[in-house]
Amino acid sequence: MSNIQALEKEFREYVKKIEDFNEALSVLAWDSRIGAPKKGVQQRSEIIGTLSTEVFQLSTSNQMSNFIEKLTEKDVYKQLSIITQKTVDECKKKYERNVKIPKEEYKQYVMLQAESESIWEEAKDQADFDMFRPYLEKLLEFKKKFIHYWGYNEHPYNTLLDDYEPGIFVDTIDHVFSELRDGLIPLVKGVSESPHQPQTDFIYQPFSKEQQKHLNIDILNEMGYDFSKGRLDETVHPFAIGINPNDVRITTKYKEDDFKLALFGTIHEGGHALYEQNISEELIGTPLCDGTSMGIHESQSLFWEKFIGKHYSFWERNYQVLKKHSNGQFDDVSLEQFYFAINEAKPSLIRIESDELTYCLHIILRYELEKSLIEGSLDVKDLPEAWNEKMKEYLGVVPNHNGEGVLQDVHWSFGAFGYFPSYALGYIYAAQIKEAIVRDLPQFDQYISQGDYTLIHEWLKKHIHQHGAMKKPAEIIKDITGNGINAKPLLSYLNEKYRRLYQF
Amino acid sequence: MSNIQALEKEFREYVKKIEDFNEALSVLAWDSRIGAPKKGVQQRSEIIGTLSTEVFQLSTSNQMSNFIEKLTEKDVYKQLSIITQKTVDECKKKYERNVKIPKEEYKQYVMLQAESESIWEEAKDQADFDMFRPYLEKLLEFKKKFIHYWGYNEHPYNTLLDDYEPGIFVDTIDHVFSELRDGLIPLVKGVSESPHQPQTDFIYQPFSKEQQKHLNIDILNEMGYDFSKGRLDETVHPFAIGINPNDVRITTKYKEDDFKLALFGTIHEGGHALYEQNISEELIGTPLCDGTSMGIHESQSLFWEKFIGKHYSFWERNYQVLKKHSNGQFDDVSLEQFYFAINEAKPSLIRIESDELTYCLHIILRYELEKSLIEGSLDVKDLPEAWNEKMKEYLGVVPNHNGEGVLQDVHWSFGAFGYFPSYALGYIYAAQIKEAIVRDLPQFDQYISQGDYTLIHEWLKKHIHQHGAMKKPAEIIKDITGNGINAKPLLSYLNEKYRRLYQF
């Protein structure tokens, strides 16, 4: 073995250790959210703090610094495997980012995250913003200090975006989001004012949790979610978590008078999970064994939830499956009526229950608010009022209490500022991906109505899934479309679909 | 702060880090057993290996060696708090034990443990000993090498016993077990030959998992198990796991035509859990925050399962609760008939389903077999035959297949040789504890029939629970009885109870 090979091996083992700790942290995160004992919160936060500190220390150690220095030497770097090269790149980026934060502050931050998330759950239940407010203020204070340590170009929010959507900046988002908003306003207006509205009463009928669970499992199996590499649990806020490609877990939330919530939530999380289950096993033990960005991750969940799960062809096949698991509520409902009902579009309060037409307006609202919080042009204490005002302005509806308003999302409770834009970017990417798949697989609709996802899975695996974080978002979009980020495919999809449904 | 105080603080922080890693490992162990994805086994073993290696390195580092050297200096030691003193003692013992095992071998062993346990589950399901055999052979090989590294007095098995029941040796066990066996043989014979046998058909009636779950939760609540510091799940082999006193989880196994299996299993694990939930919080972050030995731990589970759960007074109160949750199967059954039925004693195949009269014979069999495996007088390949022969000799029954024979217990699948004797020691301790409680609380039976466990909890907490590993087994038994380990209380309890029930 040459010196370089020996160094490469040593580096990969070092990185594997970091990733093992990260996988343990993922299990702890999953555990905390699926029903770990309440009184264990404090001590569990300390465990998470200790493990995170270890990861932080290993990622910012002199040893890591030495690895980076030696392995990025031109003559050395070019002899490394492509996986090691990209691993070095990731480690270097993380090193440079992390080394600027004092260790003790980082540990306190991680402990605060765990505690805040648990407080948020209670605050949300009780619609009590003041209970959550001091935690949010502390989290924001940490984030501002971190931005100061990191430095930034042009806008402090840009450095946060880099965590979720590397290479995308405030000016791009401002541009794409405004194009989207300009396109959405007349559409939402047309839909609201149309005299042709769906009948939906048959949706909101009793549908037991047990029956819904069987339905969701059937649908996950049809989607190709591999239960031998995952499991389905129940939580307040649904999520997917990839511990490694062989262990990707999802959760859902059941509402017994609205089966849509769990079903489309499950398809959404299932889309995330399919991505992670299909990352190449070669990447295990490296930071590349993950989705390449939040936006691309979200494109996968949204592709499955909206472009498949809300597709007419999907229900040509699965309406029977739904009927089998339910209690006769759809007996007198035609497929067309049902399809219109599940695609009902109207302004509403809760992001995760909103429809594909109004969804991006929920995101734009959050993006603007957190940008203001970070800029300092908005105080946490004024957040509920600002939230409610924007809801009225964009969607014409106002929450009755903060539980269905500013407290509805988990994200801020663990300090994830800069995350929300990814959801709308995910929408935009998903529409671009859908367009590219239909170009390559013109019989797309037919495959879906037959429940045969073989070629679709192959396409997604080849172009997106297998690469993990080896390919960056812009590279993926460029490869499959020949172009950059573009809101037009999403806008034409929505225009075509909703003008036909609502007949205007 | 003096130099000694500073050193003490530094040491306690170092130990806290080790314990945080151990708590993470406990969550991973729990996760692996309650239904983690099958295909994730290999990678999860590696995570567990990495964390265990970290614990091992921290426990055997030069830094630990320095701490021990400095803190055990006479003038220093006496200035430490009593908790720190005992923590130093534990760390010293562990250091001296662990430093003799090469790191790489230990890591391989831990990975093998995780993998073997998963293979064992499959082998047990398929009653296929050959599937499990190579793993058992490898585990045994490791154990023999470890014994060689550690050294031992008189018998190689003694050094294994030290892991579970410090201060107890093969000669004591041989002595106490033979007294127990001599006492049990005529009793079992009398019971088997008695013409007065219980009617039991009403026990084995359909009793849905969902109904049993409600019953078990009611009983756990009555016992004082704190659900805000724990949770109940379902597994193939029931267990209790204490992550810390604020997070102590139990599992059970339901059989829909025998409610006894889950109910008494739950009470058993609940007894373990009460111990761990009541350890003083002052001990969190030290190796003392644990049961003091497997035997004392087992005395707590057996005390609740046998001396309370199988007690007539318990059912004076809870027979109604059972009836409420079941389907009328007990409508024509008197309390006396029911009490006789749940205390039925007869030789059987499965240890965890066996009764309190024959239970210790199952243990003596296992003890003798594993002692032979360690001595080298028995080969793994001959184990199933040896098992079956001893079953015939001691209990007069022979398994139809290895799934209900040699493969029935989880213990050997993670290399826990030396563990089994603790179960019978636990029985012996439990009877000694029961005698001491009745001496101090003569209205014991009345408290139980009233469902008022306040004074019993106080007694157990005061004499046993709160101390964690601060007091050693012999010290506890000495304090509460004024004497040493003694099989007589158990033998007189069993004689009195079973001669009356079976009328001989």
Report the residue count for chain B: 504
Name the residue among A17, A40, A230 with its Cβ closest to that of B37.
A230
A276 given a catalytic annotation: no
Indicate the residue of A35, A228, A247 with minimum beta-carbon distance to B231: A35
A58 and B CB contact within 8 Å: no
| Partners of residue A246 in chain B, C-beta under 8 Å | 37, 39-40, 42-43
Could you tell me the pLDDT band of residue B394, with boundaries at 50, 70 and 90? confident
pLDDT given at position B181: 87
Residues 68-107 of A with CB under 8 A from B: none
Q: Check CB contact of B23 with chain A, cutoff 8 Å.
A: yes
pLDDT value at A166 more than 90: no
The residue of chain A nearest to residue B246, with distances taken between CA atoms, is A40
Q: What is the DSSP letter of A90?
A: H
> Which residues of A fall in the annotated binding site?
268, 272, 298
Mutate to test the interface with A, among B15, B17, B20 (most CBs of A within 10 A): B20
Of the candidates A220, A232, A255, the one whose C-alpha atom is nearest the C-alpha of residue A350 is: A255
Give A-chain residues touching B27 at CB under 8 angstroms. Answer: 27-28, 31, 47
Per-residue pLDDT averaged across A174-194, rounded? 90
Q: Which of residues 283-322 of A touch B (CB under 8 A)?
A: 284
What is the distance in angstroms between the Cα of A39 and the nearest Cα belonging to chain B? 5
Q: Is B441 exposed, middle or buried (0-12, 13-18, 19+ CB in 10 A)?
A: middle
Name the residue of chain A whose CA is nearest to B233's CA. A35
CA dist., res. A369 & res. B385, Å (int): 72
Residue written as token pair 């101390």: B467
**pLDDT tier for residue B395 given thresholds of 50, 70 and 90:** confident
Choose, from A19, A115, A269, A344, the residue flagged as catalytic.
Answer: A269
pLDDT bin (cut points 50, 70, 90) of residue B351 is very high
Given a cut of 90, whether residue A1 has pLDDT beyond it is no
Q: Summarize pLDDT for B69-109 with one digit per residue, the tens.
A: 999 999 999 999 999 999 999 999 999 988 898 878 988 99
User: Distance between CA atoms of B114 and B106, rounded to whole angstroms?
Assistant: 13
Q: Which residues pair with A116 in a beta bridge?
A: none
pLDDT band at residue B360 using 50, 70 and 90 as cut-offs: very high
Among residues of chain B, what percentage have pLDDT more than 70?
100
Q: Is the ipTM of this complex over 0.90?
A: no
Return the active site residues of B: 269
Q: Pick the residue from chain A with its C-alpha nearest to B42.
A: A246
Distance from CA of A87 to the nearest CA of B (A): 19
Strands B232-234 and B247-252: parallel
> pLDDT band at residue A416, thresholds of 50, 70 and 90?
very high
Reported residue count of chain A is: 504
pLDDT at B35 over 90: no
Residue B1 reports pLDDT greater than 80: no
Q: What is the mean pLDDT of residues B272-286?
A: 98
Strands A240-244 and B232-234: unpaired
- Residue A320 and residue A318: Cα distance in Å, rounded? 5
Q: What is the DSSP string of B417-457?
A: TT-THHHHHHHHHHHHHHHHHHHH-TTHHHHHHHT--HHHH
Per-residue pLDDT band for A437 (boundaries 50, 70, 90) equals: very high
Question: What is the pLDDT averaged over residues B248-254?
Answer: 97
Would you state the pLDDT for residue B141?
97
Query: What pLDDT does residue B189 have?
Result: 86
Cβ pair B50:A284 closer than 8 A: no
B123 Cβ under 8 Å from any chain A Cβ: no
Using the predicted structure, report yes or no on whether residue B255 has a pLDDT greater than 80: yes
Q: Give alpha helix (H) positions in A291-358.
A: 294-302, 312-325, 335-342
Q: Does B36 touch chain A (CB under 8 A)?
A: yes
Q: Please check the confidence at residue A396 and state whether its pLDDT lies above 90.
A: no
Establish if A131 touches chain B: CB-CB under 8 angstroms: no
Name the DSSP letter for residue B202: T
pLDDT at A186 over 90: no
Q: Are strands B240-244 and B247-252 parallel, antiparallel or unpaired?
A: antiparallel
| B438–chain A Cβ distance below 8 A for any pair | no
Contact B189, B497 (CB under 8 A): no
A24 to B47: CB separation less than 8 angstroms, yes or no: yes
Average pLDDT on A363-371 reads 95
The DSSP code for B329 is T
Q: What pLDDT digit, counting tens, does each position of A79-103 carry? A: 999 999 999 999 999 999 888 988 7
Hey, are the CB atoms on A43 and B31 less than 8 Å from each other? no
Helix (H, G, I), strand (E, B) or coil at A126: coil
Helix (H, G, I), strand (E, B) or coil at A237: coil
Closest Cα to residue A411, out of A369, A464, A361, A375? Answer: A369
Contact with chain A for residue B35, Cβ under 8 A:
yes
Q: Which residue has the higher pLDDT, A258 or B484?
A: A258
| pLDDT for B483 beyond 90 | no
Q: Any chain A CB within 8 A of the CB of B282?
A: no
Q: Which of A39, A228, A249 sits opposite B38 (nearest CB)?
A: A228
CB-based burial, A68-79: b 16+ in 10 Å, e otherwise: beebeeeebeee
Is A36–B231 a contact, with Cβ atoms under 8 angstroms apart? yes
User: Which among A39, A220, A279 is the top mutation candidate for probing chain B, defined by the most B β-carbons within 10 Å of its own β-carbon?
Assistant: A39
Residue of A nearest to B26 (CA): A28
Q: How far is CA B168 from the centre of its chain?
A: 16
* Residue with more model confidence, B212 or B162: B212
Say which residues have a Cβ less than 8 Å from residue B350's Cβ, sequence separation at least 6.
Answer: B404, B408
> Cβ contact (<8 Å) for B51 and A24?
yes
Beta strand segments in A109-256, E: 232-234, 240-244, 247-252
* Closest chain B residue to A281, measured at CA: B43
> Residue B247 forms beta bridges with which residues?
B244
Residue B345 reports pLDDT greater than 80: yes
Kindly report the number of other CB atoms within 10 A of residue A283's CB atom. 22
| Partner residue opposite A28 with nearest CB, options B27, B39, B229 | B27
Pick from A330, A420, A408: which is nearest to A372 by CA?
A420
Cβ of residue B122 closer than 8 Å to a chain A Cβ: no
Mean of pLDDT over chain B? 95
pLDDT digits (tens, 9 = 90+) for B297-330: 999 999 999 999 999 999 999 999 999 999 999 9
Choose among B148, B85, B173: nearest CA to B469: B85
Looking at residue A106, its pLDDT comes to: 85
Query: What is the Cα–Cα distance from B219 to B207, expressed in whole angstroms?
Result: 16
- Local confidence band at A154 (pLDDT 50, 70, 90 cut-offs): very high
The pLDDT mean for chain A works out to 95
Residues of B in contact with A228 (CB under 8 A): 37-39
Ordered by where they begin, the domains of chain B are 3-151 (no CATH), 170-502 (1.10.1370.30)
pLDDT over threshold 90, residue A419: yes
Q: Which of A24, A47, A244 sits opposite B40 (nearest CB)?
A: A244
In chain A, % of residues over pLDDT 90: 89
Q: Are A72 and A96 in contact (CB under 8 A)?
A: no
pLDDT in tens, A29-67: 999 999 899 999 889 999 999 999 999 999 999 999 999
Neighbours of B390 (CB within 10 A): 17
Instruction: Show the tokens assigned to B102.
Output: 């090469």
Spatial contact of A245 and A276, defined as CB atoms under 8 Å apart: yes
Q: Report pLDDT for B94.
A: 93
Q: Supply the pLDDT for residue B237.
A: 85
Phi and psi angles of residue A346, each rounded to the nearest 5 degrees, phi first:
-165, 150
Q: Which of A17, A28, A248 sits opposite B24 (nearest CB)?
A: A28
**Count of CB contacts below 8 A, A vs B?**
103
Measure the CA–CA gap between A447 and A441, rounded to whole angstroms.
Answer: 9
State the binding site of A for Zn(2+).
268, 272, 298
- Identify the residue among A31, A213, A282 best suited for mutation to test binding to B, counting B beta carbons within 10 A and taking the highest: A31
What is the structure's pLDDT at A120?
96
Query: What residue numbers of B does the annotated binding site for Zn(2+) cover?
Result: 268, 272, 298
Q: Do B36 and A284 touch (CB under 8 A)?
A: no
| CA nearest to A248 within chain B | B37
Exposed / middle / buried, residue B130 (Cβ in 10 Å: 0-12, 13-18, 19+): exposed
CB contact under 8 A, B37 and A284: no
Task: Give the H/E segment covering residue A176.
Answer: helix A170-193
Which A-chain residues 227-266 have CB contacts (< 8 A) with chain B?
Answer: 227-231, 243-244, 246-249
A230-235: Cβ within 8 A, 24+ apart: A230/A273, A230/A277, A230/B37, A231/B35, A231/B36, A231/B37, A232/A266, A233/A34, A234/A34, A235/A33, A235/A34, A235/A35
With beta carbons under 8 A apart, name residues in chain A contacting B40.
Answer: 229, 243-244, 246-247
Dig out the tokens for B108 from the structure: 């391989």
At residue A252, φ and ψ (nearest 5 deg) are -145, 170
Q: How many helices (H) and strands (E) does chain B have?
A: 21, 3
**Residue, of B215 and A101, whose pLDDT is higher:** B215
Whether B482 and B344 have beta carbons less than 8 Å apart is answered as: no
Q: What is the pLDDT of residues A211-267, one digit of tens each?
A: 999 999 999 999 999 999 999 999 988 999 999 999 999 999 999 999 999 999 999
Q: Do the chains contact at B249 and A50, CB–CB below 8 Å?
A: no
pLDDT confidence of residue A353: 82
Both tokens assigned to A141: 């204070």
Distance CA A452, CA A435 (A): 19
Confidence at residue A167, expressed as pLDDT on a 0 to 100 scale: 82
Of B50, B228, B243, the CB nearest to A17: B50
> In angstroms, rounded to a whole number, what is the distance separating the alpha carbons of residues A330 and A211?
15
Please state, in angstroms and rounded to a whole number, the distance separating the CA atoms of residues B391 and B398: 6
How close, in Å, is residue B293 to chain A by CA atoms? 24
Instruction: Work out the angle between the directed axes of helices B421-440 and B488-502 (0-180°, nearest 10).
Output: 80
Residue A116: name the closest of A182, A201, A55, A32 by CA: A32
Residue B461 — very low, low, confident or very high, per pLDDT cuts 50/70/90?
very high
Q: What is the mean pLDDT of residues B323-352?
A: 95
Q: Of the candidates B387, B385, B391, B309, which has an alpha carbon nearest to the alpha carbon of residue B348?
A: B391
Residue B434 has pLDDT above 90, yes or no: yes
Say whether pLDDT at B165 is over 80: yes
Interval A10-15 mean pLDDT: 98
Interhelix angle B335-342/B312-325, rounded to 10 degrees, is: 100
